[in-house]
Structure 1
Amino acid sequence: MNPDGFATDLARKPDVLSKLADSLAQHNPWSRVLPAEVSRVVFVGMGSSAYAGGVAAARLRARGIGAVSEIASSELLPVWGPGTLVVATSATGGSVETLDALDRIDPAATTVALTNTAGSVITQRCDATVELLAEPEVGGVACRSYQHTLAILMALECQLTGTPTDDLVTAIGTAARASDELLSTENDWRPEVSEHLLGQDETHLCAPAHRLSSAQQGALMFREGPRRSAIGCESGDWSHVDVYRTKNTDLRVLVFAGSKWEAQMAEWTGPRGTRVIGVGGTVPGATGTVRYSGDDIDDVRLLTETLIPELVAARDWQAAAAT
């Protein structure tokens, strides 16, 4: 991994995401690989792939479809028999835990590899393949591939629910433009955000449950690049399990807006003087806020908002590498 390559990968997000929107406007790739009947869905993957799978499974359940997301290293994978679709996600196509999980999947299930690497090992182990079209990530960090995983899994949701992809294509296009806006205005917002978020102790990134992957992915970017202590939290649960660190540390918090439990968080962060950055909406008690075009649309938020912590992490990583 290298910081300059990571920054380059982030800079290309708008262009590559726009190409994905164009591709999905032509056809939904899932229409060519799904069996005639899918009654249950299992997502397996590691890291960013697992984060995206967790949100995708929750979205499907909310639409009445039985779906779960399992970390590929689990020894307790579902055995659901015929009618089960298993989506094994690995951007590189070589995640050893995900390949191992395929050996333990119910042989009656249909398996589809979701990968950014054509011809990789995972494509040879599954019944069919859907490509992420995120293009090579020269920095070695899953940033565009994470974003594209979300978008492609949202296309799967469309296919399974008989929904046209028109609204999804529009959301992806809006996310591409929003990403371009955040990149072009970085010098206006990123220095202040970095000052508030990058303390000596740790950073919490919080998101509503239906976008929990944003908090998980954002925290991973702080750990993977500049090697900072960071935790991904669900906004409601934060007040039950993570709040304690506000009392005796220089905790910093980034909140992806959209949870009705943010006021409860502010009851703790406000009196204790915790620095809070709100993203994509008004967050109670925030000491700073980052907005962007389309941040009133939840799907656009999901596809865009991780760029804020990614850019903060990338610049911090570059600065550390230069010293």
Structure 2
Amino acid sequence: MSSSATETGTDAAAYFAAGYAAVRANVEQALSGKPQAVRLALTCLFAGGHLLVEDVPGVGKTTLAKAVATSVDASWNRIQFTPDLLPSDITGTTVYDQQSGTFDFRPGPAFAHVVLADEINRASPKTQSALLEVMEERQVTIDGRSHPVPTPFLVVATQNPVDLEGTYRLPEAQLDRFLLRVAIGYPDVAAERDILVNRARAGAPPPLRPVAKVDQIRWMIEYVSRIHVADAVAEYVARIAESTRSHPRLHLGVSPRGSLALVSAAQAWAACSNRGYVVPDDVKAVAEPALAHRLILDAQAEIDGLLAADVLREVLAAVPVPTMTGAR
């Protein structure tokens, strides 16, 4: 079936399911034993958002990001963020052409379908801010002229939360541009044993091959945007957001952008579950990766050692879950 699959009915659902299964199986070849992290990464891809992978060194942050990028037959660039990286090293610059007597725009690595921003917190705030416009507006403005990036456009950024010397904390405005923040975590004993045995027997795994075309991913993102969200689910999300804004342990709650991100992620989660509509369990499944990085604790909560995810779990436990009747 081509990307012009029937827009409604079982044909469209089957086409999405087949594409999702192919990409997921491909990514899991590179990151075995972490199905939840893989599914969340693909949820972000199909929701049309950007992904922040945050975890300790050596657990597969860059591996996950590269696997997502190489699974799609599309352009992708990797940017290694360092303290001396300049904004023009990301977005591009204008260069004077002596023959024509004009200034020509030379696009930077941000002009790709998938951009891997490795160790994003090692660049200066000025350089980090160069990504703000391109992540939100899908364009770069240089010398008063706007240059659109390709569609679809996905930024997959990684950062290390422990080795903070020489790093710059991501500002809230930039964190808010990431649809999901995902932590991979250590593999369990069985998964790590399999990794060690497979590596000892077969050596380095072969490079991944693309299993999806750009047009297919573009269609899948459009399909996810049409997953039905009932009024009761929308109100459930709104009540979650309102509860974070009035919670005594939070200095800053979820913005309307955060609510929209939660709905988009829930739509993608539902589509990956082979459903054409969102249920409250979809919202709960993606609430922490979609909202926790948007919350700011008050001073006392930080002193007490609380995490934003802890407070969010309290909110989810307190907000009544709607009863779904006639979800379609």
With normalisation by structure 1, the TM-score equals 0.28
With normalisation by structure 2, the TM-score equals 0.28
Q: Which structure has the larger Rg?
A: 2
Per chain length, whose mean CA-contact separation is higher, i.e. which structure has more relative contact order (CA < 8 Å, sep 6+)?
Answer: 2
